[in-house]
Amino acid sequence: MKHVPRRRFGQNFLVDKGVIARIIAAIDPRPGDNLVEIGPGLAALTEPLLARLDHLHVVEIDRDLVARLRERFPSETLIIHGADALRFDFSALGGPLRVVGNLPYNISTPLLFHLASCAGTLRDITVMLQKEVVDRLVAHAGEEAYGRLSVMLQYRFRPEKLFDVPAGAFRPVPQVTSAIVRLVPRPAAELNAQDEKLLAAVVSAAFGQRRKTLRNALAKYLDDGAFAELGIDPGERGERLAPADYVRIANYCAARTA
């Protein structure tokens, strides 16, 4: 029976063979790789991935699709986790783990934050997202797309945009253009925020209200004397500061309250 795509699960299935081949080439799966695909769907990526791997983990929320996958692929090579990727413990799959997928757009931001929380066990992430989200991931300070997502994900990963994928590559055809991005976790030595929760809180405050100056947005954390010590202009806006500046602010606040 034909599967009817479910909008609530962000189901836009890849059908363009050229695009599928390009994504597989970008992932470059090798036998021995420990790889998990989020949202295998109708196996557009799963099948060519499995052809190149000893085994593959997949995490799929849709029970009907899970049943189809179980029928189609042997359980020794395709290890199916019928689960919500937002709650799935990726670190339980061991490291170094490679994460791939054509992600459901409706949950892409929380999913990226969830993956960031287990970045220590990851080797890399190669995923398809809405192009607009990829633009935010790779944006630099001062650029239009730069925001909380850019700072928090760039703190954890080195993001690299690989290529765009037109809407016509999917069925049903989505409203938006997509893009493939690769995220490589930064080595532990580069993660120098002393208190990552505090970093997240400072960044949220700085971007909470777009046109506020840092003096107003960060009033809870820094006075003018502190801005002077840090060498940061309190009349600037949050969009002008680089991830490293936010780490300096968070570490300054952590040191003061220690």
CA atoms within 13 Å, Cβ hemisphere of 22: 15
* Residue 37 CB, nearest approach to ligand SAM (Å): 7
* Residue 114 CB, nearest approach to ligand SAM (Å): 10
CB 20, CB 48: distance < 8 Å: yes
Q: Which residue is nearest to ligand SAM (CB)?
A: 39
CB closer to ligand SAM out of 41 and 159 = 41
How far is 25 from 164, CA to CA, in rounded Å? 15
**Residues at the contact surface with ligand SAM, assessed by CB under 6 A:** 9-14, 38-42, 44-45, 59-62, 65, 84-86, 102, 104, 107
* Residue 139 CB, nearest approach to ligand SAM (Å): 23
Smallest CA-to-CA distance from 73 within 57, 88, 96, 89 is with 57
CB closer to ligand SAM out of 84 and 229 = 84
CB closer to ligand SAM out of 48 and 185 = 48
CB closer to ligand SAM out of 9 and 233 = 9
CB closer to ligand SAM out of 124 and 239 = 124
* Residue 63 CB, nearest approach to ligand SAM (Å): 10
CB closer to ligand SAM out of 8 and 211 = 8
* Residue 127 CB, nearest approach to ligand SAM (Å): 10
Where are the strands (E) in 61-214, listed by range? 78-82, 97-102, 122-130, 157-165, 170-171, 178-185
* Residue 145 CB, nearest approach to ligand SAM (Å): 22
Where are the strands (E) in the chain, listed by range? 13-14, 34-38, 56-60, 78-82, 97-102, 122-130, 157-165, 170-171, 178-185
Where are the strands (E) in 16-121, listed by range? 34-38, 56-60, 78-82, 97-102
CB 72, CB 93: distance < 8 Å: no
